């Protein structure tokens, strides 16, 4: 059947001399893999390599077979044009990082309009905002909540975060607990809306340490999760 759907590009890999395989998260079909025949050599086709950069937002038309094999895209157009992500080094690195993260998180993701709309909105925000330093931490924590393994907000009145069960409690200095400073920073990001995260006062070392802890939290709750290859580059670009 022919399906028209909004879509966000997660990643691509080269296949043969001229083809690409694109991993794409779609609003109507969930996560799909598409064979892009001849795209790396063709200059006259409807599909261009530039359309399939990480986090690019598209409107695609696909002949969806739903048999678990590679699908094909008939047409693709940009649904939101990023102005700053392609030319801003820091934002480009953030986009690469989230392309890697989402490629792991959304391997077999079924359609989820709430999650899709959230991702679409925050990446548009990333393109437009002047405040990128805290973006990664906030977006990761929001994603964990939307995907069902987020930190329990109802326990936020307690001082220490237990990484194993994703809740705050009184058991400081116990295994798998963050200290009070780390826990307080987690609370700040959980309790602050994304358009106000620049108000969270955190230095480079704290930000780096907290990002490592958030990624450790992902590894605890998603056993196949691995820290992205782009993490080291991202850390170097964080504002002090």
Looking at the domain 2-80, which fold is it? Answer: OB fold (Dihydrolipoamide Acetyltransferase, E2P) (2.40.50)
Proportion of the chain above pLDDT 70, given as a percent = 97
What pLDDT score was predicted for residue 240?
40
Give the separation between CA 5 and CA 29, rounded to whole angstroms. Answer: 8
Give pLDDT, residue 44. 67
Dump pLDDT digits (tens) for 55-111. 999 999 998 887 767 889 999 999 999 999 999 999 999 999 999 999 999 988 899
Residue 239 clears pLDDT 70, i.e. is over it: no
Residue ranges of domains in the chain? 2-80, 129-237
- In this prediction, residues 201-213 reach a mean pLDDT of 93
pTM: 0.91
Residue 118 burial by Cβ neighbours in a 10 Å radius (0-12, 13-18, 19+): middle
Average pLDDT over residues 25-45: 87
232/211 Cα distance (integer angstroms): 11
Instruction: Determine the angle formed by the axes of helices 204-221 and 135-146, rounding to 10 degrees.
Output: 20
């Amino acid at each position: 059947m022919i399906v028209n759907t909004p879509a966000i590009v997660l990643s691509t890999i080269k296949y043969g001399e001229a083809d690409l395989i694109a991993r794409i998260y779609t609003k109507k079909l969930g996560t799909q893999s598409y064979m892009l025949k001849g795209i790396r050599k063709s200059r006259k086709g409807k599909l261009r390599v530039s359309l399939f950069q990480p986090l690019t937002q598209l409107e695609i038309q696909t002949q969806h077979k739903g048999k678990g094999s590679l699908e094909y895209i008939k047409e693709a157009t940009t649904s939101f044009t990023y102005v700053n992500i392609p030319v801003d080094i820091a934002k480009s690195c953030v986009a690469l990082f989230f392309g890697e993260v989402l490629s792991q998180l959304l391997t077999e993701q079924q359609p989820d309009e709430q999650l899709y709309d959230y991702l679409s909105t925050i990446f548009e925000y990333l393109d437009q905002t002047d405040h990128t330093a805290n973006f990664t931490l906030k977006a990761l924590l929001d994603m964990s909540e939307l995907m069902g393994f987020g930190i329990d907000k109802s326990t936020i009145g307690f001082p220490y975060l237990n990484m194993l069960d994703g809740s705050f409690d009184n058991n400081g200095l116990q295994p798998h607990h963050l200290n009070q400073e780390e826990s307080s920073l987690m609370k700040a990001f959980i309790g602050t809306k994304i358009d106000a995260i620049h108000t969270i006062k955190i230095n480079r070392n704290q930000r780096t340490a907290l990002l490592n802890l958030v990624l450790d939290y992902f590894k605890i709750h998603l056993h196949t999760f691995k820290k992205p290859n782009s993490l080291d580059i991202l850390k170097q670009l964080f504002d002090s």
